[in-house]
Amino acid sequence: MRLSKRKLMEVALSIRKRHFQNLLDEARQLRREVTAARRSRRRRAHLIQLARHYSLSYVLKKLKPEAMTLQPGNGGLPYITYDHRIMRSHLAMLKAQCREIHAEWKRIKAESVKPIAANLKTLLEETELVKESPLEVHWIVDNVEFDNVWIGDIEVTMNLEKFSVHAFNKSVDTDEKNGYQHPHVASDGHICWNGYDSDAQSYHMAGDFLAVKDMIDNLLRTYNPRSPYISLEDWENGTSTSCNECGERYSDDDLAYSERYGEYLCPNCRWLCEMCDDYVSEYDYDSDMNACKRCVEMESDICALCLERFWRRDLNSVEMLVVGKMETVPCCETCKEDYESRQESESNEKEENELEPERNDHADAESLLAPAVVLSTDTQ
C-alpha cells in the first residue's frame, strides 16, 4: 500500500492542523488552571483577612504555612487542608507553560508543512503502510537480543493520527513467556515507556514520526534489568518454576503452592489434605488419614478401646475404669456401642445374679441347689 503525493500532502496538512488543535486545547486547559489557581489564592487571602478581622488566632495559626486553606466539610464544619494551587511557584509554572505553548504556536505557524511531509515521506519509506484510515504503519525491529538471550523480531504498529503504539513478537511462542512480547512489552502489545512517552507523544503530535520511531527502536533494543515484565532468565528458561520436592521445572499452572509449608509442588509430589484443603509433600502426608501430618496431630486422637486413630469430630467418649479410677476416655462410635451394650449386658447379668437367692425361695430349689446338697456320706 502506498500513499500518493497528493494524499501525503493532505495527511501532512491534517497533522499540522491537529498539532494546532492540540496546542489550542492545551492552552485552554492551562488558562483554566491559571484561573483556578488565582481563585484559590484570592480565597485564601480573603480567609486570612476575615480571621484577622475576627481575631481568630487559631485559624490564623493554621493558615500561616504556605498553601494551607479552609475547605467546607461534610457536616458544614470547615477543615484546614493543603492546596498546591495556592503556591506561587505553581502559578509561575503554569504561566511558563502558557508562554511555551504560545511560542510553539508562533513557531509552527511560521513554518511550512514541508518538514512534516518530508518526515512522513521518509517514515513511509522505512515502514509499511497498514491502513489509510486511521493512517497506520508497521515495521519490524529485527533480531532483538540481550546478553546472548534472543528475544526475536518485534513487529511495531504505530497509528499516525493518534498516539497509539503496539509491539508484538513474531518469532517466539509468547505463551511460554506469560504472554509478554518483550521484556518491556505487555501481553496486549503495550510498551512500558518508563516515562519516555511524554516526549514520544509530543514528537508524534508535531509530526516528528521518525524521532518516535527511533525512540521505539532504541527502547526495544535496550534491556532494563531493574524493571522488566519478564527477566532474561525467565525468557530463556520459560516462566516455569521448580518443584520444591523433585526440582523439576513446571509451568506456573501446573504447580500448586502449599500455604502451610511454603513450597511449590508439582502434580507428582503433592497430596491434598482433606482437612485444611492445602497441598503437602509426601513426607508431610498421612495416607491413612488422607491429611497432612499437622492436621492429624492437631485434629485427631486414638480410640481408647480399639486403639485406632479417628478425627476428633468423629470420636465419642465413655466413662470407664482406668487403673482403678473412673475416667472419660475417647472412643469411636463402634467401640462406644460395643462397650455400652457390653456394659448393659454385664449390668443385666449382675442384676440377675443379685435376684438369684430370692428366686431360690420360690422356685425349684432342688434342681438349682442340687450340686450343693450332694454331700458325702462321711460328712453326714
Partner 1 sequence: MAGNVTITYLNRNGGGFAERHTVPQGTTIKQFLAGREIDADNYTIRIVRGAQGGFTPTADEVLQEGDRLSCVPLKIEGAR
Instruction: Note the residues at the interface with partner 1 (CB under 8 A).
Output: 100, 104, 107, 114-115, 118-119, 121-123, 125, 183-186, 191-194, 196, 198-203, 206, 208, 210-211, 214-215, 217-222, 224, 226-229
Instruction: Report which of 256, 94, 239, 264 is spatially closest to residue 175, judged by C-alpha positions.
Output: 239
In the bound state with partner 1, the residue whose beta carbon lies nearer, of 186 and 302, is 186
Beta-bridge partners for 152: 144
In the bound state with partner 1, the residue whose beta carbon lies nearer, of 183 and 330, is 183
Give, to the nearest 10 degrees, the angle between helix 197-206 and helix 5-53: 130
For the bound state, the minimum distance from the C-beta of residue 269 to partner 1, rounded and expressed in Å, comes to 31
For the bound state, the minimum distance from the C-beta of residue 195 to partner 1, rounded and expressed in Å, comes to 8
For the bound state, the minimum distance from the C-beta of residue 83 to partner 1, rounded and expressed in Å, comes to 25
Q: Is 373 in a helix, a strand, or coil? A: helix
Q: How far apart are CA 141 and CA 126, in angstroms?
A: 11
For the bound state, the minimum distance from the C-beta of residue 24 to partner 1, rounded and expressed in Å, comes to 15
In the bound state with partner 1, the residue whose beta carbon lies nearer, of 114 and 350, is 114
- What is the per-residue DSSP string for 262-302? TEEE-TTT-EE-TTT--EE-GGGEETTTTEEHHHHHHHEEE
For the bound state, the minimum distance from the C-beta of residue 116 to partner 1, rounded and expressed in Å, comes to 9
- Burial class from Cβ neighbours inside 10 Å (0-12, 13-18, 19+) for residue 269 reads buried
For the bound state, the minimum distance from the C-beta of residue 217 to partner 1, rounded and expressed in Å, comes to 7
In the bound state with partner 1, the residue whose beta carbon lies nearer, of 132 and 214, is 214
C-alpha pair distances (Å), 92 with each of 23, 28, 54, 87, 96 = 19, 17, 32, 9, 6
In the bound state with partner 1, the residue whose beta carbon lies nearer, of 14 and 231, is 231
Beta-bridge partners for 280: 271
Q: How far apart are CA 180 and CA 69, in angstroms?
A: 47
For the bound state, the minimum distance from the C-beta of residue 243 to partner 1, rounded and expressed in Å, comes to 27
Grid cell of 16 as nine digits: 499540522
User: Contact 231/182 with Cβ under 8 angstroms?
Assistant: no
Q: How far apart are CA 68 and CA 361, in angstroms?
A: 111
In the bound state with partner 1, the residue whose beta carbon lies nearer, of 26 and 245, is 26
In the bound state with partner 1, the residue whose beta carbon lies nearer, of 185 and 295, is 185
